[in-house]
Structure 1
Amino acid sequence: MIEKGFSNPTDRVIKLKSMIIDAKPYVESERAVLATEAYKENEGLSPILRRAKVVEKIFNNLPITIRDGELVVGAITKNPRSTEICPEFSYDWVEKEFDTMEHRVADPFIITKETAQELHEAFKYWPGKTTSDLASSYMSQETKDSMAKGVFTVGNYFYGGVGHVTVDYGKILEIGFRGVIKQVAEAITKLDRMDPNYIKKEQFYNAVIISYNAAINFAHRYAAKANELAQQESNPTRKNELLQIAKNCSRVPEHGATNFWEACQTFWFIHCMLQIESSGHSISPGRFDQYMYPYLAADKGISKEFAQELVDCCWIKLNDVNKTRDEVSAQAFAGYAVFQNLCVGGQTEDGLDATNELSYMCMEATAHVRLPQPSFSIRVWQGTPDEFLYRACEVVRLGLGVPAMYNDEVIIPALQNRGVSLRDARDYCIIGCVEPQAPHRTEGWHDAAFFNVAKVLEITLNGGKVNDTQLGPVTKDMANFRSIDDFYTAFQTQMEYFVHNLVEACNSVDIAHGERCPLPFLSAMVDDCIGRGKSIQEGGAIYNFTGPQAFGVADTGDSVYAIQKQVFEDHKMSAQELKDALSANFGYPVGAQSESSAGKSSLNEQEIYDVVKRVIAQHGSLDASAIKDEVYRQLSSGEAAPSAPAGNNRYQEIRRILESTPCFGNDIDAVDLVARRCALVYCKEVEKYTNPRGGQFQAGIYPVSANVLFGKDVAALPDGRLSREPLADGVSPRQGKDSLGPTAAANSVAKLDHFIASNGTLYNQKFLPSALAGDNGLKNFSGMVRGYFDKKGMHVQFNVVNRDILIDAQKNPEKYRDLVVRVAGYSAQFVVLAKDVQDDIISRTEQTF
């Protein structure tokens, strides 16, 4: 037997989990008010010292909250799973949503009238002073026009902090914040007064010292609060816990940890304070099992059960972190996503297997807590023990969408190709969704922009136009293509133009963060900011990258192959006929199929009646309730697609021909290599550029959930997709088109060049639970993963859930509040997702062996 199963969580963990699930997210105002006061009080200081004073003000005054039953303490907000606002990055979108954020489609937050008034007063200070304002002033009109038409967006860092980093938790565990202050003090004594950068370096060092003294005080305030609560506590067990928490917070993170409980408290304080300093998401714990394990191994006085409970409590705390975004961005990041990626397994810096006892405890914690955070990942290589992979597959089988799996045999050489040393590459972790980086040595700017490859395809087919507006360069349109080579020539020209605009936008935002929001607290935990005497935003990290990600690759590949085969090889239609059919959306009303494809039908009354009649004819023995469910299933699945209007028979015929074309995801070289070529056009163009921090641009192919949102900006495509339908996610085949099984689909994905897409690739698969049942299911599943990785795939992640359950959860969300699914590079509670995103997950192919 290879199945082991999982133990049950403790009552404490169950209660803490319930607090998270039951929480109603609020927007709170304390951080915004404190930051605004600090900026006003320190207007004469340099940007780095002003930021230090902001951090000092917040750490010294933010409300101290210890939640009932916690063993690991520290909170960003008073209310569970709520959020603070960081107006130094942007603010106006918040004010516009004071009355609507509670009721919006994706990720609603409650804003009380009192909070709204406090934020309104704070926001009066900020016009013209934010990083967003400065970034916008650097951008050309052409770049802004490209964003407005849905070619790409840089909204992630345009409106908020950067995040997307793993800091040196291990250093703080060893020497504490006091040790950092000592390092900086020594660096000051070594400064050369003849160095022209002497002044800036000295100010950076002073900013770090201010920030870390305030951070020590933040922890001491928690010690005082725990002592206060202990004096009021009548339960002797809880009283002793609070007294020990007070001792822990008095010692760490000021000094190094001496046992595993102190190590867990140190970890969380670091992570919590990073979130408070800026609004960046994807602040990722990284290789938790590597830097925490020495403290577990050395702690002879701790039981395995209590150590597991402490890890479980850290998992709960990660779910207490939340973030609000503007209404459009919330749809792209649907599910209250914060992307705190925690990675276990893989190799040591010396190339040996890194698996340890804590690696397995992290899997146990994931099974106990069963919440979206952390975004749990494992690293797999040729030396990965079978037991480790089997155990990971058991966690996948729980249906939580984790762990995501990453291939050392691709990622390590991909990072080396970008200039990362072998030892640092072997030590890589995953940031945010799927992005590899050398931890605590990298400012990767992953997730820097979403780039819509399918939109560039649409623009190419129309000679650089969107509707009647010339957005890109003038090139041949589809009606004038004489061969598929004409397409590639035009596609390359359009790609060059729009990637240039993308880079301009990213660099504008990058410059703005360096000038207005350097982060001294974060920077001192990233190498080699202290050695270089500059913040991470100004180029202090050893490795500096910018990583925009693409989506719509499969749609583009399938479309180009359809043109190649049906127009130029088999002559089933002319280029002009295809162009006309696309312009007419194959005769359908715009948006018709996009709503019926997975969830909400847009059929008219007669068409719905026809579906009912067909179901009765097919299943006459069903009772009325069963007939109703089957009708709903067909409408939800898209089987009952709306009929094209009369008089467009040729458009219908063209669409049928296009949809009969072989698709990416079925292990067909002729198709798969077209998708590979289209992806490479984007990736190779991106890597030509550098950023203001002295680093290189590197491409990724992953969507978050933007493939749904930005699909609404894309017209009909030559693969038969109707206007506004969702695009394929990441490097995955189009929904429902990978019809020859999971191995064929994985083989297609592996043919893409994952080495050049070194900012990460994302591959989603969905399995029926029955396919993974029993020992044989685990063996087949792990064998498929190893086979995909042997063929040089970079990443894969799984949903293991029945379609019927997802459909029922749409209809009865109150029954499924703890149903967690994989969206893209993250998991989320299914019932809090926007319906379009739910529909996209439902529509994915259900695989079996």
Structure 2
Amino acid sequence: MSTVTLKDISLKEYDLNSFENLKVLRDRLIAAPVEICIERAKFITGYLKKNNQAGDCDAVYRAKAVQNYLINKASVFHDNSLLAGNTTSKGKGAPVYPEFIGLTIWSELETISKREKNPQLLTKEELDILNYEIYPYWIDRDVLATAKSWYGNIKSIQLLEKIMFYVSGKAGCISHTVPDFKRVLKEGLNAVIKEAEEKEKEALTGSGQEAVKHAEFYQSVQIALKGLIIYSSHLAEEARRLSASCTDEKERKRLIRLAEICGQVPAKPARSFYEAVQCIWICLIGIHAESINMAISPGRLDQILYPYYEKDMKDGKLTIKEALEITGCLWLKLGDNVDVVPQASEELFGGAGTAPAVTVGGIDEAGEDAVNDLTYIMLRVTELLKTREPSMNARFHYEKNTREYRDRVCEVIASTLSAPALYNDIENISTLVNQGTRTEHARDYAVIGCVELAAAGRSYDASSSVIMNLAAPLEMALYNGRRYSTGATQWGPQTGEPAAFKDFNEFMNAYKKQAKWLIEQAIDLNERFGAVHQKMLPTPLLSALFEGPMEKGADLIFGGAVYNSSGATHVGFADTVDSLSAVECAVFNEKYCTFEELLNGIKTNFKDREALRQYLLKHTPKYGTDNIFAKKNAKEIISFLYEVYQSHTNYRGGKYRPAYWSMTNHAGQGKITYATPNGRKAYEAFASGITPVSGAAGSITECLNSVAALGSVNIPGGEALNIKFQCLTDKDIPHFGDYIEAYFRQGGQQIQFNIMSYEMLKEAKANPSKYPYLLVRVSGYSAYFNDLNETMQDELITRTQYSVNTGNAILYNK
């Protein structure tokens, strides 16, 4: 039930000037340079080099390496945060994970600190350690190299290495999930270790290989968790040491308090809101010690932390201001790390953060309004800090949540200009139930990373397992299994020369055959990478923070979670649908041109064929409108992809779930994709997520209705719908909220906004110093506009802008 006691849910009496320390911490974090941190790579690699695996199973060997890092991890206090601990040894660090894609910067070690866009600083000493001690060890041992040694240079790997077909998440991370913090908060890690000890003994009384595997898993859990407890104790020791020489009384008390808290959590139960927040943060540090720092999402923090907040408030041990400041410190801690980004990725996908998603609001497991005081506290902190991390998401159940809550979320969006995103509880819960999730678990869903849906702490979703470029099979259908950009290489099946197709159905079938073949290649590679992960990268620490593994005696990567799935998201959806509709209209229905003439236009990037291009742009059906052909083709592709993915079961026993979010991949993949039949010229960005192509939808109502009509049941992985409104005033908020609610009532799953005009974004690009920390919503997460590459900036500028008053699109003038 809703438990709101705040007199003013907007908490307007608290502004950033009310929190001098938070303001200093925020400004310092945002302005701080990114420094590459080799601490984890050094201790993990050092352990593996010094200790061969003799006598240890894979899980125990991995757990000991992680423990070695946590025991040796520096206990540093970079600032005056109310929370102790850091993801890296740097103020804002980019940790190196050589098991995954850490080696991609090997050739750039001398230049990565000097590059013009988003440099990542690296000291000469650390450069040499990477160059001579760490990278040589991993050159034939990372995930991709291991897969190649096991399977050879198979077609699915060749496609991956081309980048332009699909990306495989498992080559780069074990991530994209939401842990469960409730048990560690209530009982502490010592209780989990004790249970693991007892279950290990019980397993050893059994016989057979299965009993041995169970015992090994429980042993690995104990080792990893003990490492995290030791790290926390080191933080406590360092805080006490610093307090002894501190002359500032306020600072001395802060350090003494942190020493006490870190001595309590996460080893023992959290006794207060403050301890609970610190416990969650230390657990996240531990997870990043084991797994790469990408989209490990804290989940429904307003629900998880509320019992501690409520008790402290009743006991008079906590004030609203203190809760705001502690929450603010967590928000800033979540942004203390970024990914290591090589130059090629920076040019294609630059500006992405680590996307730790926080989810608030919605309903509880019983189906009742779950909005509470902490929901509004977290919204206010988001409004005040305006930071990239965490990725904020607000659930909304239009039958259970209040209009006041809805409009408060809208106020925060108008204030931050981009956050939070909104999620439709009715559709998302129904979609998860359709995937086999128990209703009460589906009601407790949280957002992963960008927009993906998780039964929080119960489902291991690996939601970025595949990132598929839908324009790739389109191009393969146009060129009989080849891609224009790769010449004569025959990649997919020969589905016929399009000029010989008698009707549109033949071309649609060719597209489906190419897409199905490419999807199956990506799935095959994901399964193979999964086997590599099971050998190289058990995750006992993360597994201990989930429901399922402790009961089953199985690591997450062996199917230990209650629910298992693999996510496949798609890039270029709108451009592909519009291209299919353009072929249907221009070639077959209206016979404006022959297929050969269309292909010649595409091959020449429409040089000397501008009339054809303008026809394709302006007179063929567009997704995002009421056109029956556009609606038909959009639904057909959504349904087709759903059926293909759901027909596959992954190596952990779960289904593949299609999704439609693109991070910055729609810009990056667009930059390496040639011209398409919808009139898009070569190397231009695709539309983002599930959003219509810029300029296609003339009214917000048509746009929202078209997306809602796709049906959420076929999009179990989640979607990112990006909408841009001109700046909003206070009086616009109810109308703005009405648009959102109407879209949700039509069946829309998710929506996110940029509240900014064409002119504002063009000025921000031309004069970046005037907008140093402008926060924009990309496709499922937020980024600082100045961090994005030019292609991504231009895509944001040209996104269709709507008037909140008329609902009509506003013409973009270059």
Q: TM-score, normalised by structure 2?
A: 0.93
Q: Following the alignment from structure 1 to structure 2, what is the Cα–Cα distance between the partners of residues 429 and 561?
A: 35
**Superposed CA offset, 1:346-399 (max 9, x none):** 111111111111000000110121101110001111211111111100010024
1:75 aligned counterpart, secondary structure: coil
Equivalent residues in 2 for 1:433-448 (5 A)? 433-448=450-465
Equivalent position to 1:580, from 600, 623, 638: 600
**1:283 counterpart letter in structure 2:** I
> What corresponds to 1:256 in structure 2?
269
Equivalent residues in 2 for 1:565-576 (5 A)? 565-576=585-596
Equivalent position to 2:33, from 19, 24, 38: 24
> What corresponds to 1:335 in structure 2?
351
Q: Quick one: structure 1 residues 80 and 551, their matched pair in 2 at CA, closer, same or farther if it must change by over 3 Å?
A: same
> What corresponds to 1:707 in structure 2?
666
Is 1:204–1:533's contact at 8 Å kept on the other side of the alignment?
yes
2:431 aligned counterpart, secondary structure: helix
> What corresponds to 2:782 in structure 1?
827
Q: Following the alignment from structure 1 to structure 2, what is the Cα–Cα distance between the partners of residues 790 and 127?
A: 53
Q: Is 1:387 aligned with 2:404?
A: yes
Is 2:352–2:663's contact at 8 Å kept on the other side of the alignment?
no
Q: Is 1:558 aligned with 2:571?
A: no
Equivalent residues in 2 for 1:475-494 (5 A)? 475-494=495-514
> What corresponds to 1:840 in structure 2?
795
Q: Following the alignment from structure 2 to structure 1, what is the Cα–Cα distance between the partners of residues 395 and 517?
A: 37
Q: Is 1:351 aligned with 2:367?
A: yes
Q: Offset of 1:134 from its aligned partner?
A: 1.9
> What corresponds to 1:501 in structure 2?
521
Q: Is 1:535 aligned with 2:555?
A: yes
Q: Offset of 1:804 from its aligned partner?
A: 2.2
> What corresponds to 1:608 in structure 2?
none
1:36 aligned counterpart, secondary structure: helix
Is 1:664–1:675's contact at 8 Å kept on the other side of the alignment?
yes
> What corresponds to 1:639 in structure 2?
none
Q: For structure 1, list consecutive stretches of 5 or more residues without a partner in the other structure.
A: 588-647
Is 1:76–1:83's contact at 8 Å kept on the other side of the alignment?
no
Q: Offset of 1:151 from its aligned partner?
A: 4.8
**1:23 counterpart letter in structure 2:** A
User: Could you say what the CA RMSD is over the residues aligned between the two structures, in angstroms?
Assistant: 1.8
Q: Following the alignment from structure 1 to structure 2, what is the Cα–Cα distance between the partners of residues 714 and 57?
A: 45
Q: Is 1:167 aligned with 2:187?
A: no
2:464 aligned counterpart, secondary structure: strand
1:698 aligned counterpart, secondary structure: strand
Deviates more, 1:256-265 or 1:745-754: 745-754
Equivalent position to 1:471, from 458, 472, 491: 491
Q: Offset of 1:124 from its aligned partner?
A: 2.1
Q: For structure 2, list consecutive stretches of 5 or more residues without a partner in the other structure.
A: 1-7, 805-814
Q: Offset of 1:578 from its aligned partner?
A: 1.0
Q: Offset of 1:105 from its aligned partner?
A: 6.4
Equivalent position to 1:184, from 196, 206, 222: 196
Q: Quick one: structure 1 residues 560 and 5, their matched pair in 2 at CA, closer, same or farther if it must change by over 3 Å?
A: farther
Equivalent position to 2:207, from 194, 212, 224: 194
Q: Offset of 1:779 from its aligned partner?
A: 0.9
Q: Percent of pairs identical after alignment?
A: 30
1:450 aligned counterpart, secondary structure: strand
Q: Offset of 1:476 from its aligned partner?
A: 2.1
2:359 aligned counterpart, secondary structure: strand
Q: Quick one: structure 1 residues 506 and 252, their matched pair in 2 at CA, closer, same or farther if it must change by over 3 Å?
A: same
**Superposed CA offset, 1:657-678 (max 9, x none):** 1112242223333312212212
**2:193 counterpart letter in structure 1:** I
2:139 aligned counterpart, secondary structure: coil
**1:326 counterpart letter in structure 2:** P
Q: Offset of 1:711 from its aligned partner?
A: 1.0
**Superposed CA offset, 1:658-711 (max 9, x none):** 112242223333312212212332232122111111111111111111011111
Is 1:107–1:324's contact at 8 Å kept on the other side of the alignment?
no
Q: Following the alignment from structure 1 to structure 2, what is the Cα–Cα distance between the partners of residues 271 and 846?
A: 38
Q: Following the alignment from structure 2 to structure 1, what is the Cα–Cα distance between the partners of residues 32 and 543?
A: 33
Q: Is 1:279 aligned with 2:292?
A: yes
> What corresponds to 1:101 in structure 2?
112
Is 1:174–1:256's contact at 8 Å kept on the other side of the alignment?
yes
2:705 aligned counterpart, secondary structure: helix
Q: Is 1:50 aligned with 2:61?
A: yes
Would you say how many aligned residue pairs link Structure 1 and Structure 2? 782
Q: Offset of 1:149 from its aligned partner?
A: 4.6
Equivalent position to 1:110, from 121, 133, 139: 121
> What corresponds to 2:49 in structure 1?
40
> What corresponds to 1:614 in structure 2?
none
Is 1:5–1:394's contact at 8 Å kept on the other side of the alignment?
no
Equivalent position to 2:433, from 394, 401, 416: 416
Q: Quick one: structure 1 residues 779 and 32, their matched pair in 2 at CA, closer, same or farther if it must change by over 3 Å?
A: same
Equivalent position to 1:7, from 10, 14, 33: 14
Equivalent residues in 2 for 1:777-792 (5 A)? 777-792=732-747
Q: Is 1:689 aligned with 2:648?
A: yes
Deviates more, 1:716-725 or 1:661-670: 661-670
Q: Following the alignment from structure 2 to structure 1, what is the Cα–Cα distance between the partners of residues 301 and 348?
A: 28
Q: Quick one: structure 1 residues 124 and 714, their matched pair in 2 at CA, closer, same or farther if it must change by over 3 Å?
A: closer
**2:648 counterpart letter in structure 1:** Y
> What corresponds to 1:660 in structure 2?
618
Q: Following the alignment from structure 2 to structure 1, what is the Cα–Cα distance between the partners of residues 42 and 517?
A: 42
Q: Following the alignment from structure 2 to structure 1, what is the Cα–Cα distance between the partners of residues 134 and 673?
A: 39
Q: Following the alignment from structure 1 to structure 2, what is the Cα–Cα distance between the partners of residues 156 and 805?
A: 35
Q: Following the alignment from structure 1 to structure 2, what is the Cα–Cα distance between the partners of residues 350 and 138?
A: 48
**2:64 counterpart letter in structure 1:** K
Q: Following the alignment from structure 2 to structure 1, what is the Cα–Cα distance between the partners of residues 240 and 10?
A: 45
Q: Following the alignment from structure 1 to structure 2, what is the Cα–Cα distance between the partners of residues 487 and 67?
A: 60
Q: Following the alignment from structure 1 to structure 2, what is the Cα–Cα distance between the partners of residues 95 and 809?
A: 34
1:469 aligned counterpart, secondary structure: coil
Q: Following the alignment from structure 2 to structure 1, what is the Cα–Cα distance between the partners of residues 178 and 797?
A: 33
> What corresponds to 1:124 in structure 2?
136
Q: Offset of 1:50 from its aligned partner?
A: 1.2
1:102 aligned counterpart, secondary structure: coil
**2:504 counterpart letter in structure 1:** I
**1:241 counterpart letter in structure 2:** R
1:377 aligned counterpart, secondary structure: strand
Is 1:729–1:824's contact at 8 Å kept on the other side of the alignment?
yes
> What corresponds to 1:637 in structure 2?
none
> What corresponds to 2:568 in structure 1?
548
**1:249 counterpart letter in structure 2:** C
Is 1:556–1:678's contact at 8 Å kept on the other side of the alignment?
no
Is 1:2–1:390's contact at 8 Å kept on the other side of the alignment?
no
Q: Following the alignment from structure 1 to structure 2, what is the Cα–Cα distance between the partners of residues 223 and 357?
A: 31
Q: Following the alignment from structure 2 to structure 1, what is the Cα–Cα distance between the partners of residues 514 and 271?
A: 58
Q: Following the alignment from structure 1 to structure 2, what is the Cα–Cα distance between the partners of residues 531 and 194?
A: 18
Q: TM-score, normalised by structure 1?
A: 0.90
1:671 aligned counterpart, secondary structure: helix
Equivalent position to 2:765, from 794, 810, 822: 810
> What corresponds to 2:812 in structure 1?
none
Q: Is 1:133 aligned with 2:132?
A: no
**2:537 counterpart letter in structure 1:** C
Is 1:399–1:801's contact at 8 Å kept on the other side of the alignment?
no
Is 2:224–2:541's contact at 8 Å kept on the other side of the alignment?
yes
**1:715 counterpart letter in structure 2:** Y
**1:54 counterpart letter in structure 2:** A
**Superposed CA offset, 1:523-562 (max 9, x none):** 1111211111121112111111111111211111111112
Q: Is 1:77 aligned with 2:88?
A: yes
Q: Following the alignment from structure 1 to structure 2, what is the Cα–Cα distance between the partners of residues 20 and 419?
A: 42
Q: Following the alignment from structure 1 to structure 2, what is the Cα–Cα distance between the partners of residues 356 and 472?
A: 53
2:188 aligned counterpart, secondary structure: helix
Q: Following the alignment from structure 1 to structure 2, what is the Cα–Cα distance between the partners of residues 69 and 533?
A: 41
Is 2:349–2:667's contact at 8 Å kept on the other side of the alignment?
no
**Superposed CA offset, 1:569-588 (max 9, x none):** 2121122211111111111x
